[in-house]
Amino acid sequence: MTPNRTGVGPGGLASGFMSVKFRVQTGFNFSSDSYAIVFNTSGDGTTPLASTLSNNYAGYSIAIVVGGSGGSVQAYAFYYYRPNNTAQAPVLYPIGATPQQLILNPNSNGQNTEFSVIFDRVIADFSVSATPTPSASPSASPTPSASPSASPSGSASPGATATPPAVAEFWNFNFFVVQGQVTQFESEGSLGIIDSLGAGGGTDTTYQSPSLDVATAFDTTFYVQAGTHPSIPDALTGGEIANNP
């Protein structure tokens, strides 16, 4: 086995990067569905679940969403901003990740059943420069920044400075198949979840993801829990997450 090059970790990742492989049954349906990887970067051990209405998006910190139509499939990164009134649903804001910070391979196994996203973990440090106006349906467009920058940036209406919770060493996650395009996901944050890694599929309330120590190098594979999952080509089968600290 050939060792990794200096500075390159599991899966050939550069230091500070993570890769995610998202796998489905027999094929993606980018014309009508989107695919979300949601991370909880707070370190509180909560897994983001499909049942967002019952738990007010507990464990939702950032999302990487893959979708598109007309042959144009892209990856987008979003941050869940929580207003001071925690009873209100979080506001979803696009992270202006550069092409070097968010890299998509829409058919990484050549069979249209797996896509891969490589991203710079610095995007989890995203913070808005001003307090967003609390709203369940922000109007910002999920278009990645066109000009490269040293760190992700976002825009919001003028107001007091807002700082999100610090990014912790241990992350939790979940994968979702979502009905609708990325713009619809942005307006709702979890619009029409069809499937998830948990046994309850699109309405699961019990899944507990592995805890990812992002301060270490790892490459872990996992599978969807047996249970109530839809009979569709893009029902989840599992995935793989690799990290280089």
| Domain residue limits at 105 | 10-243
**DSSP code, position 120:** E
Specify the number of domains making up the chain.
1
For residues 230 and 195, is the Cβ–Cβ distance under 8 A?
yes
Average pLDDT, the chain: 81
pLDDT tens figures, 129-180:
434 444 333 333 333 333 333 334 333 333 333 445 578 999 999 999 999 8
Is 205 within the bounds of a domain?
A: yes
The residue type at 116 = S
The pLDDT-based confidence of 91 (bands split at 50, 70, 90) is confident
Is 1 within the bounds of a domain?
A: no
Is 110 within the bounds of a domain?
A: yes
pLDDT of residue 70: 60
| Structure tokens given for 124 | 């989890």
For residues 24 and 232, is the Cβ–Cβ distance under 8 A?
no
Cα(72)–Cα(64) distance, rounded to whole angstroms?
A: 16
pTM of the model: 0.81
Is 186 within the bounds of a domain?
A: yes
Is 3 within the bounds of a domain?
A: no
Is 133 within the bounds of a domain?
A: yes
Give strand pairing partners of 67: 74
Is 169 within the bounds of a domain?
A: yes
Is 230 within the bounds of a domain?
A: yes
